[in-house]
């Protein structure tokens, strides 16, 4: 099982802060997970934004980061703290 | 505890003084305070809501502080970032650094706030006359990191 979290604008537009997905061997990277979500159509297409940021197990990562069963993945727009 | 994420307001002067207290080897303290402005991108701002990623936020800030400590000889580092509801004029973030000599404190505090702005999972949502709006990331925040690229 993969836990996927969404924050800020993504959380609002997707109308959820968290989703659970069954892991399979095709979900081998964070980018593959993102593509699987985008394939659901609206409103998930917003995750195809080029500026999307992601984290694996609470560390920033790139879309080519390997994905393992049990991971906590987060997708969010560019950060604006400070 | 060099990193703190909290809803409560803080007193920047108190945090700054604490970086020197009982530290007789400290010759320099530098503090940066970020505040909520009442105007942004052409609109009056009545307040803001700061969202974050609990758990990752603290780890991200600790990682940035560790990187600064590896680059400069620092005595103490203190980072405080607020979340939740904030009013114009209130402090959002404090970055304080102490060291024996000034250059390490100046550079490390600048490095920490530049990295925090692009790496720590916080998002600002402003209240404006036209309703709430998510603040967009500034391109300049990303290019600000270039000056900290490893020198060859």
CB contact under 8 A, B122 and A80: yes
Structural domains of chain B, with CATH: 3-129 (3.90.1170.40)
pLDDT at B74: 97
- Chain A hits for B113, CB-CB cut-off 8 Å, are 82
- Chain A hits for B50, CB-CB cut-off 8 Å, are 81
| B100-123 pLDDT per residue, tens | 999 999 999 999 999 999 999 999
Q: 3-state DSSP call for residue B52?
A: strand
- Chain A hits for B52, CB-CB cut-off 8 Å, are 81
Closest by CA position to B2, among listed B19, B14, B17 = B19
> How far does Cα B47 stand from its chain's mean position?
19
B6: number of Cβ within 10 Å: 11
Average model confidence (pLDDT) across chain B: 95
pTM attached to this predicted model: 0.95
Q: Which of A9, A51, A81 sits opposite B120 (nearest CB)?
A: A81
**What's the mean pLDDT in B58-86?**
98
Residue B23 pLDDT class (50, 70, 90 cuts): confident
ipTM for this prediction:
0.96
Average model confidence (pLDDT) across chain A: 97
Residue B22 pLDDT class (50, 70, 90 cuts): confident
pLDDT at A37: 98
Q: Which of A74, A77, A80 sits opposite B53 (nearest CB)?
A: A74
pLDDT at B1: 57
Residue A61 pLDDT class (50, 70, 90 cuts): very high
Q: Which of A9, A76, A82 sits opposite B93 (nearest CB)?
A: A82
CB contact under 8 A, B121 and A7: yes
Residue B2 pLDDT class (50, 70, 90 cuts): confident
pLDDT at A80: 97
The answer to whether the peptide bond before residue A43 is cis (omega within 30 degrees of 0) is: yes
CA distances (Å), origin B87, targets A11, A68, B9: 23, 42, 10
pLDDT at B142: 86
Q: Identify how many contiguous H helices and E strands chain B contains and give both numbers.
A: 4, 9
| A17-50 pLDDT per residue, tens | 999 999 999 999 999 999 999 999 999 999 999 9
**What's the mean pLDDT in B118-129?**
96
**What's the mean pLDDT in B117-130?**
96
Residue B152 pLDDT class (50, 70, 90 cuts): low
User: Hey, which bits of B39-147 come out as E strands?
Assistant: 39-40, 43-52, 76-82, 84-86, 91-99, 122-128, 131-134
The contact set of B with A (CB < 8 A) is 34, 50-53, 55-56, 59-60, 81, 92-93, 113, 116-125, 134-137
Collect contacts of A38-43 with beta carbons under 8 A, ≥24 apart.
A43/A13, A43/A14, A43/A15
pLDDT at B151: 64
B4: number of Cβ within 10 Å: 16
Q: 3-state DSSP call for residue A40?
A: coil
Exposed/middle/buried for B100, CB within 10 Å: 0-12, 13-18, 19+? middle
pLDDT at B41: 87
> How many CB pairs below 8 A link A and B?
73
CA atoms within 13 A on the CB side of A55: 23
Optimal mutation site among B123, B131, B135, B141, interface A, most CBs of chain A within 10 A: B123
Q: Which of A74, A80, A81 sits opposite B81 (nearest CB)?
A: A81
Question: A2-76 in CATH: which number?
Answer: 3.10.20.30
């Amino acid at each position: 099982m993969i836990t996927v979290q969404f924050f800020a604008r993504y959380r609002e537009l997707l109308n959820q802060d968290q989703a659970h997905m069954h892991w399979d061997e095709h979900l081998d990277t964070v980018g593959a997970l993102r593509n699987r979500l985008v394939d659901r159509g609206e409103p998930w297409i917003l995750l195809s934004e080029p500026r999307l940021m992601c984290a694996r197990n609470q560390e920033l990562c790139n879309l080519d980061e390997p994905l393992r069963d049990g991971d906590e993945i987060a997708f969010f727009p560019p950060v604006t703290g400070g | 505890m060099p990193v703190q994420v909290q809803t409560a307001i803080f007193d920047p002067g108190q945090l700054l003084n604490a970086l020197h207290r009982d530290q007789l080897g400290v010759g320099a303290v530098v503090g940066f305070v970020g505040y909520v402005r009442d105007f942004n991108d052409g609109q009056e701002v009545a307040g803001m809501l700061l969202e974050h990623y609990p758990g990752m936020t603290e780890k991200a800030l600790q990682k940035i502080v560790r990187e600064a400590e590896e680059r400069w000889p620092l005595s103490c580092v203190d980072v405080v970032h607020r979340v939740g509801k904030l009013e114009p004029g209130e402090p959002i973030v404090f970055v304080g650094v102490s060291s024996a000599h000034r250059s390490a404190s100046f550079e490390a505090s600048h490095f920490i706030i530049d990295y925090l702005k692009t790496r720590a999972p916080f998002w600002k949502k402003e209240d404006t006359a036209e309703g709430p709006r998510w603040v967009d990331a500034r391109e300049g925040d990303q290019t600000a990191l270039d000056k900290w690229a490893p020198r060859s």
